[in-house]
Chains A and B, each alone.
Chain A
Amino acid sequence: MRLLRLLWVFFRVGAMGELAYRANFFLQLLESAVDLGTALGGVVVVFSYTATLGGWRPEEVAALVGVFFLVGGAIRLVVQPSMEQLIESVRDGTLDFTLTKPEDSQILVSIQRVEIWKLTDFALGIAVIAVALLRLGTRLGIWQVAGFAAALLAGGIIVYSFWVILASLSFWFVRVENILVIFQSIYEAGRWPVDLYPPWLKIGLTFLVPVAFATTVPAQALTGRLTWQHLVGAFALAAFLFAAARLLWRVGTRRYSGASA
Chain B
Amino acid sequence: MGIRDVYRQQFRTTFASFVQYRASIFIWTIERILEPLIYLVVWSAVAKATGGSVGGFSVSQFAAYFIVMMLVTQVTYTWVMYEYEYKIRHGSLSFALLRPIHPVHTDLVDNISSKLITLPLMLLAATVLVLVFKPTFSPPLWAAALFVPALLLAFSVKFVVEWTLALSAFWTTRVSAVNQGYFVAALFLSGQMAPLSLLPHSLQVAASLLPFRWMISFPVELLLGRLNARQALIGLAAQGAWLALGLLLLRTVWRAGVRVYSAVGA
Contacts and interface: CB of A to CB of B under 8 A. Distances in A.
**A–B in direct contact per CB < 8 Å:** yes
A173 interface: yes
Contacts of B176: 31
Q: Main SS of chain B's interface residues? A: helix
Contacts of A181: 27-28, 31
Interface string B175-210: 011001100100110000110001110000000000
A258 interface: no
Contacts, number: 91
B27 A182 contact: yes
Interface string A164-180: 00000000010111110
A31 B34 CA distance: 23
A199 to B, nearest CB: 11
Nearest to B203: A45
A196 interface: yes
A49 B41 contact: no
B127 to A, nearest CB: 16
B95 interface: no
B31 A53 contact: no
A102 interface: no
Contacts of B45: 53-54, 196
A46 B28 contact: no
A192 B42 contact: yes
A31 B42 contact: no
Contacts of A38: 184, 187-188
Interface stretch (A89-97, A114-122, A183-191, A240-248): A183-191
Contacts of A146: none
B157 to A, nearest CB: 23
Contacts of B194: 42, 45-46
A196 to B, nearest CB: 5
A182 B177 CA distance: 23
B193 A175 contact: no
A198 interface: yes
Q: What class of interface size applies to chain B in its complex with A?
A: 35 or more
B42 A196 contact: yes
A27 interface: yes
A54 B44 CA distance: 10
Contacts of A260: none
B46 A49 contact: yes
Nearest to A52: B49
B177 A27 contact: yes
A176 B42 contact: no
Given A49-B54, A177-B24, A178-B24, A185 B42 contact: no
Given A173-B23, A177-B21, A179-B23, A186 B34 contact: yes
A229 interface: no
B23 A175 contact: yes
A34 interface: yes
Nearest to A30: B177
Contacts of B116: none
B262 interface: no
A50 interface: yes
Contact of A53 (B21, B30, B49, B180): B49
A135 to B, nearest CB: 20
Nearest to B54: A49
A115 B235 CA distance: 45
B180 A34 contact: yes
B55 interface: yes
Contacts of A143: none
A196 B30 contact: no
A20 B14 CA distance: 41
Contacts of A197: 41
Contacts of B30: 182, 185-186
B174 interface: yes
Interface in B27-82: 27-28, 30-31, 34-35, 37-38, 41-43, 45-46, 49-50, 54-55
Contacts of B132: 198
A252 to B, nearest CB: 16
B38 A53 contact: no
Contacts of A46: 42-43, 46, 194
B41 A196 contact: yes
Interface string A191-221: 1100011100100000000000000000000
14 contacts: A30-B177, A38-B187, A41-B188, A45-B200, A46-B42, A53-B49, A175-B23, A176-B24, A177-B21, A179-B24, A179-B27, A181-B27, A192-B38, A201-B37
Given A27-B177, A51-B49, A54-B49, 16 more contacts: A31-B176, A31-B177, A35-B180, A38-B188, A42-B194, A53-B42, A54-B45, A175-B23, A177-B24, A179-B27, A181-B27, A181-B31, A185-B27, A185-B34, A192-B42, A197-B41
